[in-house]
Structure 1
Amino acid sequence: MNCFLVGGAVRDKLLDRKVSDRDWVVVGETVDSMLAAGYEQVGSDFPVFLHPKTKEEYALARTERKSGKGYTGFEVNSESSVTLEEDLKRRDLTINAMALDKNQQLIDPFNGQNDLHNRLLRHVSPAFVEDPLRVLRVARFAARYHQYGFEIAPETASLMKQMVDQGELDHLVPERVWKETSRALLEKDPDIFFEVLRACGALKVWFPELDVLWGIPNPVQWHPEVDTGIHTMMVIQQAAKLSDNLAIRYAALVHDLGKGLTDPAQWPSHREHEELGVAPIRALSERLKVPNECKELAIMTSEYHTHIHRALELRPATILKVLNHCDAWRKPERFNNLLTTCIADAKGRTGLENRDYPQAEFIWNAYQAAMKVEVKSIIEAGATGKNIKLRLDEKRINAIREFKQAYQPD
């Protein structure tokens, strides 16, 4: 069987990156011959098979011809006459259009190795424009390989903008947009994904609530970087350093969407942007079909990040209200994720990236002090009905007050 290792495995092998998944292309075979050899067919769009022992994916070499709108409008030809070069030509980027034969000889008809050396993300052929999902994929690759110095080739960036201008991205489905976005959020430099989308106009199409933040000023005494869009990218950078939790990174991305709704007459002030942010976060999350875990943390972050920033100044009763509203008692992990997102927000400002943020530790320890109050003792003391909750709140406020009085920051 004439098999070739292709795509990301070849690219990452040449970059000395860890290869996690290996994909193979088979030339000169048919569905029947693959089944006869013991391979298990999976997928309905085109012939893909699982190796009988390794379970790695083997796909018949194929070509694609545009026949409709969006990323699904293709006619696929996987006849045994399709060559390896024809299969590689349908791929998105030259660095993804290389193959290795069984003797580890590189097959590189589109100079992918040269672009790899020059750190360029370049499209393989004019057929790039036929699949609008490639705009998001290139943006995600830009985020992943930014650490190696990769940039998008000017001619590819131009094609991406052309695709956006022609409305091709309107034909994408939310699930695919979110899949690319969620993968990009988990890259080392997720901010690059959104910067690339903004540069080609795609951010305005699928993330309009985020796109409007550039050009909106913040008070310079709190935000030396001033621009809200720049601040948002700095916050997502900090979140990426702090955690690989998708919900935290998404919450960091959208925490200030409320500032996009502030009356320009109030600029650079943004009163009540915390509550204003809930509606655009819901709109964006519903458009992209964002998982509830991400959406809930994002809304909570918008509503309460200012409270957390002012934690050292809050009265014990106010701290309890925050803990109650955040349901910290039943969902302590989510509350801890809120604090991590607030750390990213505080550090996502020019010149303040390494500043201490004692507020997170303070309010977590205040929460721990309140947690020590036992409901059982309140019931045993004779409280019933609504009085149980009243007595519980009183005792928790006292516990927070005692902690606060004894608190000594490091």
Structure 2
Amino acid sequence: MKAYIVGGAVRDRLLGLPLADRDYVVVGATPDDMIALGYQPVGKDFPVFLHPQTHEEYALARTERKSGRGYKGFKVYAAPDVTLEEDLRRRDLTINAMAEDAAGTLVDPYGGQDDLAARVFRHVSGTFAEDPVRILRVARFAARFTDFAVAPETNVLMRQMVDNGEVDALVPERVWQEVARGLMEAQPSRMFQVLRDCGALVRLFPEIDRLFGVPQPPEHHPEVDTGVHVMRVVDWAARQGFSLPVRFAALTHDLGKGTTPPEQWPRHHGHEARSADLVRALSERIRVPADCRELAVAVAREHGNVQRALELRAGTVVELLERVDAFRRPERFEEFLRACECDFRGRPGYEDKAFPAPEYLRQALQAAQTIDAAGVARQADPARIRDAIFQARTQAVAAWRARAKD
């Protein structure tokens, strides 16, 4: 019985990166052996155990045989006669198929160290094609390791997986899990570029794929291409360290431009409402959590109004604040403004350009909040309380704007 550190911990140590978690594989043991040593069994699909002191995960060396479609269509064989090399061979990429023993000796049967040096994502073996989640994992790794490239033969294999329908077997929850993790990496646009290069983007996210090649007015969008713009927006959000809801909103704010009839290009009249509908449908399809979905819908629907905020009448500003629930959810309102600013900044030459709209709306909210809503409600006709509060807020915003002009 011998335990090895495997996978990401070995990779990250060789890259000089901090180690978050360590996973172990155990060769030459049975489940009974592990339990006798005090390990706690936790694996559902294959034998995994928690160390009695450190609570780190130890998995028995195993092989897998494809038995059905999708990432759960496997039969697992875990027994003392499974070698370390056999266990490593079932892993996705060579850079994740290395191990270290207790003395720190590196075991690298598939050239992972060379591929780390060459900055290449390369599949270990043809078994890569048996698990469609691996396409998403490669794409996610591309967003994290921004100077790595997918090996040509691995891209060919991923495209074959798309073409034979294997990627269609992915369950929505797993798609969201991997994409959410990729959005939180250093350069999320690389995830979508990898998916697009192998043909998976159009199958998994047709709403995003069809943005590429759709022109926008060059006077407002020097980058012209809508897909390019959206990738710049989501990367800007990542560089600012913004939250997952902000990054998802940045990704989806312009989905409606993909449905603009070509004869209307480069204008996209009404794309905000179409974007909001598409965000709802996408969120339902891949089970996006409520906080991400709600913010993304608000940003898709209202980002054009934010860009024009200084031109809006006082009453229209208050209506905007009410629609995005700014009075009840000020923290969410801040995330809304961050996502809208990402939209503005995601254009060449706009990174340092003045964008007064967010601060203007913050101050408008503060002005509207100065009224005593409860007091207004007590004095109003019960049938017109909502209208009375709205009028009071509008007057407060108008008065604030008049003072600001003076």
The TM-score normalised by the length of structure 2 is: 0.98
Q: How far apart are the structure 1 equivalents of 2:96 and 2:341?
A: 37
Match of 1:253 in 2: 251
* Preserved CA contact (<8 Å) 1:189 1:240: yes
In the TM superposition, residue 324 of structure 1 has moved relative to its aligned partner by: 1.1
Q: Which residue of 1 aligns with 2:96?
A: 96
Aligned to 1:201: 199
Query: Counterpart of 1:402?
Result: 399
Structure 1: segments with no counterpart, 5+ residues: none
1:408 shift after superposition: 7.0
> What code does the residue aligned with 1:341 have?
A
Question: What is the deviation of 1:401?
Answer: 1.3
1:158 aligns with 2:163: no
DSSP-derived class of the 2:65 partner: strand
Aligned to 1:390: 387
Counterpart selection for 1:172 from 162, 170, 173: 170
Q: d(CA) in 2 for partners of 1:209 and 1:398?
A: 41
Deviations 1:35-78 (A, max 9, x none): 01000000210000000111000000001111111111111111
**CA distance in structure 2 between the aligned counterparts of 1:378 and 1:223, rounded to whole angstroms:** 44
**Paired residue type of 1:64:** E
Q: Does the aligned pair in 2 maintain the 1:65–1:75 contact within 8 Å?
A: yes
Q: Could you tell me which residue of structure 2 aligns to residue 18 of structure 1?
A: 18
Aligned with 1:277: secondary structure?
A: helix
**2:274 matched residue in structure 1:** 276
> TM-score with structure 1 length normalisation?
0.97
Give deviations 1:63-110, integer Å, cap 9, x for gaps. Answer: 111111111111111110111111111100000001110001111111
Structure-to-structure mapping, 1:164-243, within 5 angstroms: 164-243=162-241
Amino acid at match of 1:202: A
Asked if 1 retains the 8 angstrom alpha-carbon contact of 2:140 and 2:181, the reply is yes
Residue 74 of structure 2: aligned partner? 74
Stretch of structure 1 that moved more, 280-289 or 35-44: 280-289
How many aligned positions are there? Answer: 406
Sort the Cα spacing of 1:407 and 1:105 in 2 relative to 1 into closer, same or farther, 3 A.
farther
Change (3 A) 1:231 1:120: same
- 1:129 equivalent in structure 2: 129
Secondary structure (helix, strand or coil) at the match of 1:81 reads coil
| Residue range with higher mean Cα deviation, 117-126 or 353-362 | 353-362
**Is residue 25 of structure 2 the alignment partner of residue 28 of structure 1?**
no
C-alpha distance after superposition, 1:230-267 (max 9, x if no partner):
01101111111224311110111010011111121111
The residue identity in structure 2 corresponding to 1:378 is V
CA RMSD after TM alignment: 1.3
For residues 80 and 62 of structure 2, what CA distance do their matches in structure 1 show? Answer: 9
**Paired residue type of 1:154:** P
Q: Secondary structure at the match of 1:269?
A: coil
Distance in 2, Cα, partners of 1:195 & 1:123: 18
Q: 1:42 is matched by which residue type in structure 2?
A: V
> Residue type matched to 2:384 in 1?
N
The alignment partner of 1:407 has SS state of helix
* 2:319 counterpart (314, 318, 321): 321
SS in 1 for 2:4: strand
